[in-house]
Amino acid sequence: MIPILQLLLRLGCWLLLAPLLPGIINKVKAWVAGRRGPPVLQLYYDLAKLWKKGVVMSTLASPAFVMLPAVAWVAVFGAAMLVPLGPAGAGLSFRGDALLMLYLLALARFCTAWAAMETGSAFEGMGAVREVSYAVLAEAAMVAAVLSLSVQTGSISLVTMLAPSVGACAGLLAAGLFIVLLAENCRVPFDDPNTHLELTMIHEVMVLDHSGPPLAAILHGAAMKLLLFAVVLAQAVLPMDHLRPLGAAGLLAGSVLLVTVAVGLVESLLARFAFRRVPLLLTTAFLLCLFALLVAWKGGMP
Amino acid sequence: MTTALLLVLALVALAAGIATGARHPRTWLVLTLTGSAAALGAALSVMPGPPDWEWRSGFLIGGEALHLRLDGLSALFLALLSVVGGAGAVYARGYWPDALYPASASRGRAWWSALLLSMGLVLLVSNGLHFLIAWEMFTVCAYFLITLDRTRREVRVAGWLYLAASHAGTVCLFAFFTTLAARTGSWDLGPLREHAGLAPLFWLALAGFGVKAGVFPLHIWLPSAHANAPSHVSAIMSGVAIKMGVYGMLRFSGWLPVPAAAGWVVIGLGAASALLGIAFALAQNDFKRLLAYCSVENIGVILIGLGGALLARSHGNAPWGRLALAGALLHVWNHGAFKSLLFFCAGSVLHATGTREMSRLGGLWRVMPWTAGWFALGAVAVAGLPPLNGFVSEWMIYLGLIDAVANNDPFAWAVMPAVIMLAMAGALALAGFAKAGAMIFLGAPRTRPAAEAHECGALMRGPMLVLAAVCVAIGVAPVLFWPAVARAVGDWHPGWASAATPAPLLTLGMAHLGLAVLIAAAGVWMWCKVRGNGLRRGLTWDCGYAAPSARMQYSSGSFAGLAAGWFSWILRPTRRIRRPRGHFPAGAILLERTPETMLEHVLMPAGAGVMRVSTAVRRLQHGRLSAYILYVAAGLAALGILVLIESVT
């Protein structure tokens, strides 16, 4: 009985709470700009509406065009099941699950890029190229972060390795992972999720031709990915071990909220970067994670 | 006993295949399949556990008694050889039939059997001299297969380059085996781990086998040979033949002692091969060249695992090395399966459209749905994505290396960059195969041949199905394949012989299985849901542009441009640009070509330098007798002076 209840709670957290995050970001942006903005639950309404709508598909696209968003959603969902939720632990945990999580996110990226190329549109080609190319640097940063966490804890399992870092390492890791979060979730300053029709977009331009239920899967998957990164970031930096379960859950929720608000603030206060500066910023993220690794490694030496 | 019988059966069947290949294609196919099945059976019969199969006879070849041995390590490679060899034989019947290639098809069949036989012998013989003989036979058979279509000039050039490079490697191997025989007093091969004096020989073996394996700076022959060979030959070259180089490195780093620096040199070469190989792959426009460079990357991945194992072994047999080596060995199988599958797909596309240029293809999924599906599966596997086999082996290598870092191993400094470069290579592989799949199979056909292509026949689809099944099987049930890998690991280093799985392979397999089921269910469900909601077809939305044409699609060069730009320091792309000018621009051109950097910018200038020096020296030899007498007189005078100086001092 208890395991089933736990599973339901976990699914509820990931599936139902995730769409809240983009709503909060939009609210923060509206608040900074002095507007009222869309309701926090707007994405829920959008998802419900899209789920009932019909689909227009490019004449060039194969049936895989509507299936791949579902596959990408499953991949992100699978990655989410590996991430521990504070005191509740992870849905599935084993040695090396951190790598499976990274590669599941890569699978989602592959599916999105493949679906984008199905349409034969040059715009979506541009988006796909940017997505897969910038991922090279983001991946390097994430692996460096994984290495630094495993140096600290001597483990490669997310449940044990997401113990809080200490001192300079925590600061470096927080900064590095926050930049990766912005890049991987296509937020400002890497991408602007508000506009669709610029030549300068990454993720939004890749999903230009999607509609109906596949678009709903994409939007929900994106929200879930944002939540995943926020949860990982919070747990990599914040100490929660000594708290009681309820307190830890509260702290986790609070820090995820904080990360979300921070994303909203960055989006309000910063303009999108020119594309030639994007690799520079991602390299900075990589270097931050690399320094975190070096600090953890040399700091741990007797 | 069964092993011996099966090996004799394989030998007889393949030898008969060589004899009948030219005249009787059906008999040949049956014989080759029998031979492959028997060889696979022999490999499987050895895998469950010791003892090795060993056979010494009094029969002399070149004055040396024949000594055959099949242990876990060679059985692993023999299994790969027989699966790809059998699948390729069936594929060849559809891809290179007598009707289309009356002159070369019959020749190709005989050489195919000969290649399988000689590679099998390389794996079996346990005598230095016989190893060299088998190695040379294998090199020559492969040369004749690469140059099957020798009416084309670029095929002859590629074949010649392959032959020259292979023999440069063989020279190192000659030096290696003769020195080994001189130092030990016998050509016989076997474990000699206590002879510390043999360690420096490792560098000779690394160079000799490295050329065959296509390790980064030595890979010069690989792209053109793989691209110009018939696709079934490319498949076995990439899937199995270059693995013979890996086999040599594994065999002799396992049997002989290695120098202290071997580990980090191998891991460094591996990391460089992985990252630069895939960067070159990404920049290619020819899809077979892309696959060829991707082989360089995968050899790099295998060497990263081997290098880790060497480091761990040199430092008190740390258990993380076992995991890294197991990952490398499993990757040998995995790369053999998915790369052969991808080359079969490439052959099918080439067969249907007649071009290897990705920028001339597009939209092939409509006419070639099977090929497109298998290619997509192979692309997911080669990019190392779950739930397929590529991820399993890369995951094991990662796990071993990260263990080393987490335990604060003294070699962490060498391992950390390798892990990060492996991750970047993985992300670049994803980009490269998203590009290849998209350019070949997605969007609108860019040329007429692409629009009028056709699906390949059942003889070509069958082998693809087999290899795809192998990719899925290793992906979702890696534990089933673990015993074979564990046995090979034990043969490489007896200290690590143990059947226990060092990593939660079972859990990973279950997770992969669950993921695969969920993916299939979600895909089908989404399709049904979309059909239920109503599906309309419309023009691709190009910012309101109403008449998009196939030429407006993203091209192969533009797809690679961004990431390849970061590697332009080594890719050195050459560009020809004519920009549109004036109010009514006439023509504009942008041609970009990625050269074979190592060949064109390193080896050929070096070769030209040698030629210049030789030409200068040749001026001394001109046929004028008086000058020759002068040389002799000068030489004698010099000698006399030398003697004089000696006697004075």
Beta strands in B97-195 (DSSP E): none
Q: Which of A49, A104, A107 should be substituted to probe chain B, the one whose Cβ sees the most B Cβ atoms within 10 Å?
A: A107
Across B441-449, average pLDDT: 91
Interval A24-51: pLDDT, tens? 999 999 999 999 989 999 999 999 999 9
What CA–CA distance (Å, rounded) separates B46 from B43? 5
Percent of chain A at pLDDT > 90 equals 63
Strands B589-593 and A55-58: unpaired
| Partner residue opposite B540 with nearest CB, options A53, A60, A146 | A60
Residue A74, domain member (yes or no): yes
HSE on the CB side for B169, CA within 13 Å? 31
**Unique residue bearing structure tokens 């059966």:** B9
Residues of A in contact with B504 (CB under 8 A): 94-96
Predicted ipTM beyond 0.90:
yes
Interval B289-310: pLDDT, tens? 999 999 999 999 999 999 999 9
Interval B2-32: pLDDT, tens? 899 999 999 999 999 999 988 899 999 999 9
Q: Is A114 on the interface with B (CB under 8 A)?
A: yes
Q: Is A268 on the interface with B (CB under 8 A)?
A: no
User: Could you tell me if A130 and A152 are in contact, meaning their C-beta atoms sit under 8 angstroms apart?
Assistant: no
Residue A9, domain member (yes or no): no
Spatial CB neighbours of B627, under 8 Å, sequence gap ≥ 6: none
Cβ contact (<8 Å) for B526 and A70? yes
Q: Is A47 on the interface with B (CB under 8 A)?
A: no
Amino acid sitting at position B395:
W
Across A283-295, average pLDDT: 93
Name the residue of chain B whose CA is nearest to A128's CA. B559
Across B546-566, average pLDDT: 86
What CA–CA distance (Å, rounded) separates B77 from B66? 21
**pLDDT at residue B498 greater than cutoff 90:** no
Residue A5, domain member (yes or no): no
The predicted model scores a pTM of 0.95
Spatial CB neighbours of A84, under 8 Å, sequence gap ≥ 6: A90, A93, A158, A159, A162, A235
| Partner residue opposite B406 with nearest CB, options A54, A119, A150 | A150
What rounded mean pLDDT belongs to chain A?
90
**pLDDT at residue B511 greater than cutoff 90:** yes
Q: Which of A121, A196, A275 should be substituted to probe chain B, the one whose Cβ sees the most B Cβ atoms within 10 Å?
A: A121
User: Could you tell me if A100 and B395 are in contact, meaning their C-beta atoms sit under 8 angstroms apart?
Assistant: yes
Number of domains into which chain A is organized? 1
Residues of A in contact with B552 (CB under 8 A): 122
Give the CA radius of gyration of chain B: 27
Q: Is A74 on the interface with B (CB under 8 A)?
A: yes
Q: DSSP assignment, residue B23?
A: T
Interval B559-612: pLDDT, tens? 998 888 899 888 888 888 888 888 888 888 888 888 888 888 888 999 999 999
Residue A148, domain member (yes or no): yes
Encode burial over B353-378: b for 16+ CB neighbours within 10 A, e otherwise: bebbebbbbbbbbebbebbbbbbbbb
Residue A13, domain member (yes or no): no
Interval B100-121: pLDDT, tens? 898 899 999 999 999 999 999 9
Residue A122, domain member (yes or no): yes
User: Could you tell me if A70 and B526 are in contact, meaning their C-beta atoms sit under 8 angstroms apart?
Assistant: yes
Q: What is the pLDDT of residue A302?
A: 42
Nearest alpha carbon to residue A46 among A210, A207, A216:
A216
Q: Is B304 on the interface with A (CB under 8 A)?
A: no
- Coil vs helix vs strand at A166: coil
* Secondary structure element (H or E) that encloses residue B67, with its range: strand B64-70
Residues of A in contact with B519 (CB under 8 A): 71, 74-75
For residue B625, the Cα-to-chain-centroid distance in whole angstroms is 55
Q: Which of B542, B545, B551 should be substituted to probe chain A, the one whose Cβ sees the most A Cβ atoms within 10 Å?
A: B542
DSSP structure string for A177-197: HHHHHHHHTT-TTT--TT-SS
Residue A3, domain member (yes or no): no
Nearest alpha carbon to residue A120 among B545, B575, B531, B453:
B545
Interval B361-416: pLDDT, tens? 999 999 999 999 999 999 999 999 999 999 999 999 999 999 998 888 888 888 99
Residues of A in contact with B558 (CB under 8 A): 125, 129
Q: Comparing A87-91, A185-189, A221-225, B118-122, which segment has the lowest mean pLDDT?
A: A87-91
- Coil vs helix vs strand at B57: strand
Residue A212, domain member (yes or no): yes
Number of helices followed by number of strands (H, E) in chain B: 25, 5
| Partner residue opposite B562 with nearest CB, options A68, A129, A140 | A129
**pLDDT at residue A1 greater than cutoff 70:** no
Q: What is the dihedral of CA B503, B392, B414, B318, to 10 degrees?
A: 20
What domain range is A277 assigned to?
18-297
